[in-house]
Chain A
């Protein structure tokens, strides 16, 4: 491990040096405080990885940190998974650009959590072991369900990973003046180290530390903005309106949601998609019991709600500060340096100088690292636990499974880096939306119906699940984001950007129909097994790693 460490540091130094060479081209100073703070973060997290590596022996340690994470810690980690760079930089940038429309987005991103708590969290904990496929495969055919679930998980993970990797590369390019390929390579190398050596324990702690850093950094920014306006949101709003080309329109809904169908469809994708994201779902298996699982959602919801409140203040603060005479230094040719997503980063410089800019830059980098690590672990568990340990080689020893898991992490990491570099100049705006669409249309319906519907059969879940997945992908391709913006056609065949309303409905109908039509003896047996599953889901008796009372 130390050899890899040394190698990584050399790569990092060369990369920073290379960044120095492009300093003229990007007109960006080499940000020394940012580099120092980032190195501190790396050294700290690698220390944690070293500590976690000694505790990570079995497959259960590797996938779920042995179930020893507390509700509070897990809540922070879940919030951390959700507060990605897209959420932090993207939503504050959206508010900076469009005002209140960005706030609507933020609100829509929260409401899925209470629903997850009421219907999913404790059932997930009581029925699952390592992945969400464990639940769906509890009484259904292992081979079919695991294959489908792994397919759904991997599609979501890969799309999300590409979006994060490309974002990371571009962000680091702007923040540190580092070459794109170096940046993506470095993120990939670090995430592989965290996950292969430290498993879920290291991944969780990296996420917790980053969540704390992010929450305190953004809180500080929000307080500084409000301090400047004597803690009056009204004064902030007045200045923002004066400084924005849209004027008063930034204080009320604009063109973001134009018709009810897209509105409901987007809301559905965000809400049900959250309940189908594999890297979020796997966090419910890291706590000891249903009680802690519930607590984690309450903490996560609280942190995320608080995060959206301070992001709103930061977004409007960015309008008030950056669009002023003193803010002119952050623009080149009338455009914000590095794009609108850099709004909060530039704001940090205006509020706290180079040192605070350094801190926020390091936090943004840490955010990406923590999220891609979680994604990689989720992707690897879909291959090693669902496919290898349950379909290919059910007789495999624990030791062998851990070994395969680590190998898959490296493979997923390399795939992520390769795709990150391949998609550098592609338009990837649709990818996170598509990831949520697939999660809502394939993963969620199977998971939900396997918990609540006695009549679900393997055939129904398999066919219906694939129908949902294919519908989501097809409708996104035929929709405005891909058909018009990427393929260059004049008009979209499918008019809505978010297909969830249609693809989720199709998936549920498909699963229901094919389950109903299934009259095989196997289906009969599967329905009978529901009784025992339901008792376990409701009481936690027989749950994996449960603490007996």
Chain B
């Protein structure tokens, strides 16, 4: 990768759009997953009894749907990210590549 190529790409507003959009989405989703997971861990550490609450008249506790929800939601966040990244971000990347085609 030569200096001219780097400078041309860095001067391209689409490049900054790509980087900031992708970073923002990654940080938002990442923070969401981390908050969800650590909230779960901290409840276990500080207030175990809360998770021992039974669902209605059932023997099953709310701890099970919560664990299931964390697994499913973690998966869904990856789906959200990749849907955006593989369409919008990928298009932007291709446009950037197209703009510097003469140097590639």
Answer yes or no: do A and B interact.
yes
Which residues on A are within 8 Å of B, measured CB to CB?
A: 100, 103-104, 106-108, 110-111, 113-115, 117-119, 122, 233-234, 237-238, 241, 248, 251-253, 257-260, 263-264, 267, 271, 290-291, 294-295, 297-298, 301-302, 305, 308-309, 312, 531-532, 535-536, 538-542, 548-549
Contact with A along B63-77 (1 / 0, CB 8 A): 110011011101101
Task: Output the residue of B10, B33, B45, B59 with the most chain A CB within 10 A.
Answer: B59
Q: Report which of A104, A233, A259, A291 forms a contact with B60, defined as CB distance below 8 A.
A: A233
Report chain B residues within 8 Å CB of A536: 1
Q: By the criterion of a CB under 8 Å from any partner CB, how many residues of chain B are at the interface?
A: 57
Task: Output the residue of B10, B71, B100 with the most chain A CB within 10 A.
Answer: B71
Instruction: Taking A312-B64, A541-B9, A542-B1 as given, write out 10 further A-B residue pairs in contact, using a Cβ cutoff of 8 Å, ordered by the A residue number.
Output: A107-B37, A108-B41, A114-B81, A115-B33, A233-B60, A267-B37, A295-B82, A295-B86, A539-B18, A541-B97
Q: In the bound complex, what is the Cα–Cα distance between A12 and B104 (angstroms)?
A: 55
Question: Nearest chain-A residue to B54 (Cβ)?
Answer: A251
Q: Report which of A251, A259, A260, A298 forms a contact with B63, defined as CB distance below 8 A.
A: A251
Question: Nearest chain-A residue to B47 (Cβ)?
Answer: A253
Report chain A residues within 8 Å CB of B42: 260, 263
Report chain B residues within 8 Å CB of A122: 85
Supposing A114-B30, A257-B41, A297-B78 touch, asked if A252 and B63 sit within 8 A by C-beta, the answer is: yes
Question: Nearest chain-B residue to A260 (Cβ)?
Answer: B45
Q: In the bound complex, what is the Cα–Cα distance between A259 and B48 (angstroms)?
A: 11
Minimal beta-carbon separation of B61 from chain A (angstroms): 5
- On whether the beta carbons of B59 and A252 are closer than 8 Å, the reply is no
Report chain A residues within 8 Å CB of B5: 535, 541
Q: In the bound complex, what is the Cα–Cα distance between A295 and B58 (angstroms)?
A: 39
- On whether the beta carbons of B26 and A118 are closer than 8 Å, the reply is yes
Contact with A along B20-58 (1 / 0, CB 8 A): 001001110110011001101110111011011000001
- On whether the beta carbons of B60 and A251 are closer than 8 Å, the reply is yes
Minimal beta-carbon separation of B10 from chain A (angstroms): 7
Report chain B residues within 8 Å CB of A234: 58-60
Report chain A residues within 8 Å CB of B9: 535, 539, 541
> What number of A-B contacts does a CB cutoff of 8 Å give?
160
Q: In the bound complex, what is the Cα–Cα distance between A108 and B97 (angstroms)?
A: 39
Q: In the bound complex, what is the Cα–Cα distance between A301 and B75 (angstroms)?
A: 6
Q: In the bound complex, what is the Cα–Cα distance between A258 and B48 (angstroms)?
A: 10
Q: Report which of B15, B51, B71 forms a contact with A538, defined as CB distance below 8 A.
A: B15
- On whether the beta carbons of B18 and A115 are closer than 8 Å, the reply is no
Minimal beta-carbon separation of B60 from chain A (angstroms): 5
Question: Nearest chain-A residue to B28 (Cβ)?
Answer: A118
Which residues on B are within 8 Å of A, measured CB to CB?
A: 1, 3, 5-6, 9-10, 15, 18-19, 22, 25-27, 29-30, 33-34, 37-38, 40-42, 44-46, 48-49, 51-52, 58-61, 63-64, 67-68, 70-72, 74-75, 77-79, 81-82, 85-86, 90, 93-94, 96-98, 100, 104
Q: In the bound complex, what is the Cα–Cα distance between A263 and B44 (angstroms)?
A: 9
- On whether the beta carbons of A267 and B41 are closer than 8 Å, the reply is yes
- On whether the beta carbons of B97 and A252 are closer than 8 Å, the reply is no
Q: In the bound complex, what is the Cα–Cα distance between A238 and B72 (angstroms)?
A: 25
Report chain A residues within 8 Å CB of B90: 291
Minimal beta-carbon separation of B37 from chain A (angstroms): 4
Question: Nearest chain-A residue to B33 (Cβ)?
Answer: A114
Q: Report which of A291, A308, A540 forms a contact with B86, defined as CB distance below 8 A.
A: A291
- On whether the beta carbons of B74 and A301 are closer than 8 Å, the reply is yes
Q: In the bound complex, what is the Cα–Cα distance between A111 and B45 (angstroms)?
A: 18
Report chain A residues within 8 Å CB of B34: 111, 115
- On whether the beta carbons of B75 and A237 are closer than 8 Å, the reply is no
Q: In the bound complex, what is the Cα–Cα distance between A257 and B93 (angstroms)?
A: 44
What would be 21 A-B contacts, judged by CB atoms less than 8 Å apart? A104-B67, A107-B40, A111-B37, A115-B30, A115-B34, A118-B30, A122-B85, A233-B60, A234-B59, A234-B60, A237-B59, A237-B60, A241-B59, A252-B49, A260-B41, A263-B44, A267-B38, A294-B81, A312-B64, A531-B10, A535-B10
Task: Output the residue of A108, A238, A251, A549 with the most chain B CB within 10 A.
Answer: A251
Supposing A531-B6, A539-B93 touch, asked if A305 and B75 sit within 8 A by C-beta, the answer is: yes
Q: In the bound complex, what is the Cα–Cα distance between A531 and B1 (angstroms)?
A: 10
- On whether the beta carbons of A253 and B63 are closer than 8 Å, the reply is yes
Q: In the bound complex, what is the Cα–Cα distance between A113 and B93 (angstroms)?
A: 24
Minimal beta-carbon separation of B103 from chain A (angstroms): 9
Task: Output the residue of B3, B15, B67 with the most chain A CB within 10 A.
Answer: B67
- On whether the beta carbons of B86 and A294 are closer than 8 Å, the reply is yes
- On whether the beta carbons of B51 and A253 are closer than 8 Å, the reply is yes
Q: Report which of A119, A259, A532, A539 forms a contact with B15, defined as CB distance below 8 A.
A: A539
Report chain A residues within 8 Å CB of B104: 541, 548
Q: In the bound complex, what is the Cα–Cα distance between A236 and B19 (angstroms)?
A: 49
- On whether the beta carbons of B38 and A541 are closer than 8 Å, the reply is no
Report chain B residues within 8 Å CB of A106: 67
Minimal beta-carbon separation of A446 from chain B (angstroms): 20
Supposing A111-B74, A119-B30 touch, asked if A233 and B64 sit within 8 A by C-beta, the answer is: yes
Task: Output the residue of B22, B34, B74 with the most chain A CB within 10 A.
Answer: B74
Report chain B residues within 8 Å CB of A535: 1, 5-6, 9-10, 15
Q: Report which of A111, A117, A233 forms a contact with B70, defined as CB distance below 8 A.
A: A111
Q: In the bound complex, what is the Cα–Cα distance between A113 and B5 (angstroms)?
A: 33
Supposing A263-B45, A539-B15 touch, asked if A251 and B52 sit within 8 A by C-beta, the answer is: yes
- On whether the beta carbons of A107 and B81 are closer than 8 Å, the reply is no
- On whether the beta carbons of B71 and A309 are closer than 8 Å, the reply is yes
- On whether the beta carbons of A257 and B64 are closer than 8 Å, the reply is no
Report chain A residues within 8 Å CB of B75: 298, 301-302, 305
Q: In the bound complex, what is the Cα–Cα distance between A100 and B67 (angstroms)?
A: 10
Q: In the bound complex, what is the Cα–Cα distance between A308 and B72 (angstroms)?
A: 11
Report chain B residues within 8 Å CB of A241: 59
Q: Report which of B3, B38, B44, B96 forms a contact with A104, defined as CB distance below 8 A.
A: B44
Question: Nearest chain-B residue to A541 (Cβ)?
Answer: B97
Report chain B residues within 8 Å CB of A248: 59
